[in-house]
Structures are given as structure tokens and as C-alpha cells.
Homo-oligomer: A and B are copies of this chain.
Amino acid sequence: MTTVKIALLGFGTVAQGTFNLLQTNAAIIKDRTSVDIDIAKIFVRNPDKYSNITLPVATKYVTDIKDIIEDDSIQIVVELMGGTTFAKDCVEEALKAKKNVVTANKDLLAESGPYLLELASKNGVDLRFEASVLGGIPIIRTLYESLGGNHITELIGIMNGTTNFILSKMTDEGLSYQDVLKEAQELGYAEADPTADVEGLDAARKLAILASISFNRRIFFDDVSVEGITKIDTEDIAFGKEFGYNIKLLGIAKESNKGLSLNVYPAFVPVTHPLASVRGSYNAIYVKGNGIDDAMFYGRGAGSLPTGSSVVSDIMEIAKNISNGSTGQLKSFYYDQKNIYAPGKIQSSYYIRLAVDNKTGVLAKISAKLAEQKISVLSIVQRNMDPEMAVLAIVTSKCPRSYILNLIDSFNSLRSVQSVNSVIRIMED
């Protein structure tokens, strides 16, 4: 039986998950690959930090990366350090030394994916990165292999566990955004500085990578229009429930004859749609293609073992390729050029919440403005809050965003409109 020696770079959460699975499931992995996978070296800055972990006898800590790059017996380097400077150097050096690489590094992929894929191919080795996006969901291989025969037309994801946890808890318990964020931070589900999550930046980075693979063009973070969840109000969630919607932070890549649109924003999802039931810290990717019609892939987007599981699957594939003499055959995904078009051109239904004067004739004025903008109404709920103020929640039919922006301008020009409080898109069923 072939033995393949591997080295881990870094020994944090994901690396330990990978290490644990390779140990615990060693027999299964050997049966399924016909390869003995042997963790020869682990690169860390300070081995003393890990004195509580028992390594197999043959596994050594090294503190100099050269001890891995220059070790010809090591055939797979597993980069789990993160960052785009030192990690990039390591991956580059490893590929040039004709070592296969597995990485879980989303930022590195986003920044240098095409260059590194080409470098791997030039050196006859594999570069795999299943764990770089949505750790425990095997979405990358699914997109480029299992769905490879499809013209993918749309990809919609719940790609960020922190925001889905927050929105689910706001929905289930009627708590405010601020209260739930605080709890999420205490539980370690949200960072002390939650910006990257709650403003949708993390989701946008993941969308860029998944859309690159789905639509075969290079898509950058800056190509994605982003809107976070910080303005979502418990009142909107409650109205949404009444209308049959759950609120979700969605990443949406959609192709039309105008080009490709790329957006992250909170949206109301019809409760009958499978994405509506993705709760808590779970993630899911919903894909439409001209073959499969539609499909959804659901699971843990992060975590030590789930992400480790994806890393291990990449190691196993490469180990089989080494044993078959067929490494270095992965194609780059980036070859097509498509226009990216602005979100203004996408039509959708909208939910709008207004505070208006609580007197007769106001609804008529609002309705006149809607008619003026040629926007029809699917549902409208009026709730009288006090003798001075009523709340109107309106669900419109599909229209371009520019119509909605004009509508809001015209609402604001009405003296009887006290404020336009919320504008939330509704996902198509």
C-alpha cells in the first residue's frame, strides 16, 4: 500500500479537527483510499502551546518552514494558518517544490486563486480548497464536478453562521438585534468587532468565490453589492411572519441576458422555500441550473470537525491521485467574461414599512403614490399604534429597484408620512 506523508501548517481549530479525524477515522480513510496517510510534520511557531495534545510517535513539530518545503518525502502540505502573506509564501514555495497543497484559506483563494491554481498545474500537483468556503458543506467539488454539466443560472446562499444565528433568534424569540448580538458575542458566535459578519462582508467574500466557480469568471469582493443586517427591526420580522416570510441574509449571484448580478442583502424568504428552514448557525447553498432544476446543500458552515472533514476529503482525493499518478490535472475555473450588472436592474418584490398619520385619507394618498410609480400591491396591513400614528406594512409586486427608490422619495414628500422605516427585498419563491 502507498504511504503518503503530509505536513500541517498551523495547529489551530481547523488543523486540530483535521488531525483528530485523520486519527479517529484512520481505518476508514485507509479502506476508502487504499493509501496510508501519515502526518509527518506540523509547523507551529511555538510547540509548547500544544503540550496537551498527544502526537503519534512519528509526527514531529517543526518551527522552520524549510523543514517541510525541503523535505522531499512530504507530498501534501495542508495550509491551515490563514492570512495572505506568510501563508501565500508557504503555499507558493510548496507548489514550486512540487508538493500538493490543501488549503482552507478563503482570503488567500480570493486574492491569489487563479495564480496558485496555475502554479499547481504547471508543477504537476494538485491544489484543493473545499474547506475554504462553508467548511462542513461539500459545495466546491459539487459545483465543479457534480453540477459540472449544468449551465448554472442562480446561486443563493445563507453563507454566514453569525448573522443567521442572530436573525433566527430575533425571529424565534422576538428579541432586538442589539440584545441578540450581545448574546452571540457572549457565546462566542460573534466577534467583539462583528462588522465583517453583520455588514455582510464575510458573505460577500464567500459569494465571490462560489460565483467564480459557478459562472467561470473571476469575481472579486468589490464586484458584490453588500448590505448588512444591522437595520433589521423586530417589528419587520413580525410583519414578515404575518405575510409568510422568514428573514435571512442572502448572498445571491444571478445570471440574466444582461449579465451577472452579485448581491448580499437581508431578504424575506417565503416560508415554503427550503432556504427558509435553515436555522441558527447552519448554512446552505441553493443552486439553479438548466439540468438539475434546483438543489440545496445544507450543513455546518464552520467548526473544527466539519471544516476538518472537508480538509480530509481533499487530502484523500490527492492521496488517491498520488497513488494513481494523476495529480496536476485540475483546471482553473476562470475563463469566461461576463458583464456584472448593478442591483438596480434586478426586479423583486419589496416590503416597505411606514409610520403615517393616523387619520382618514392617508391610505388613499399612499395608494395614489404607488399607482403613480406603476407599482402594484400584493398585501397591505395597517396597524393603528396611537391616536397620532399608524404603521403601514406594504408588500409590492415585482418591480425594478429604481421604481422603489422613486416611490420612497415620493412617500417622503407626503406630509402625512412620518417616516419610511424599512425597505426589505422579498426573495422569489
Contacts and interface: CB of A to CB of B under 8 A. Distances in A.
Interface of A: 17, 21-22, 24-25, 28-29, 31-34, 130, 136-138, 141-142, 144-151, 216, 272, 274, 276-279, 282, 289-300, 303, 305-306, 308-310, 312-313, 315-317, 320-321, 324-326, 329, 331, 335-336
A1 to B, nearest CB: 12
A300 B305 contact: no
19 contacts: A17-B291, A21-B290, A24-B151, A28-B149, A28-B216, A29-B149, A138-B142, A138-B295, A146-B310, A147-B309, A149-B316, A150-B309, A274-B282, A295-B297, A295-B298, A295-B299, A320-B329, A325-B326, A326-B329
Contact of A295 (B28, B136, B147, B336): B136
Nearest to A298: B296
A216 B216 CA distance: 35
A306 B137 CA distance: 21
Nearest to A335: B31
Number of copies: 2
A94 B234 CA distance: 63
A289 B320 CA distance: 22
Contacts of A299: 292-296
A91 B190 CA distance: 54
A83 B321 CA distance: 34
A276 B274 contact: no
Contact of A130 (B146, B296, B308, B331): B146
Contact of A312 (B142, B149, B298): B149
A20 to B, nearest CB: 9
Contacts of A312: 148-149, 291
Contact of A148 (B32, B34, B324): B32
A216 B278 contact: no
A138 B137 CA distance: 13
A80 to B, nearest CB: 15
B137 A313 contact: no
A350 to B, nearest CB: 25
Contacts of A33: 148, 331
Contacts of A317: 145
Given A299-B295, A324-B329, A146 B151 contact: no
Given A138-B142, A145-B141, A316-B149, A291 B308 contact: yes
Which of A150, A277, A321 has the most chain B CB within a 10 Å cutoff?
A150
A277 B277 CA distance: 7
B331 A305 contact: no
Which of A137, A149, A316 has the most chain B CB within a 10 Å cutoff?
A149
Which of A17, A130, A147 has the most chain B CB within a 10 Å cutoff?
A147
Contacts of A308: 149, 291
Which of A274, A315, A331 has the most chain B CB within a 10 Å cutoff?
A274
Which of A144, A289, A296, A336 has the most chain B CB within a 10 Å cutoff?
A296
Given A141-B141, A292-B300, 8 more contacts: A137-B295, A138-B145, A149-B313, A149-B315, A149-B316, A293-B299, A320-B329, A326-B326
A294 B278 CA distance: 13
A325 B279 CA distance: 45
A298 B300 contact: no
A407 B290 CA distance: 52
A291 B325 CA distance: 28
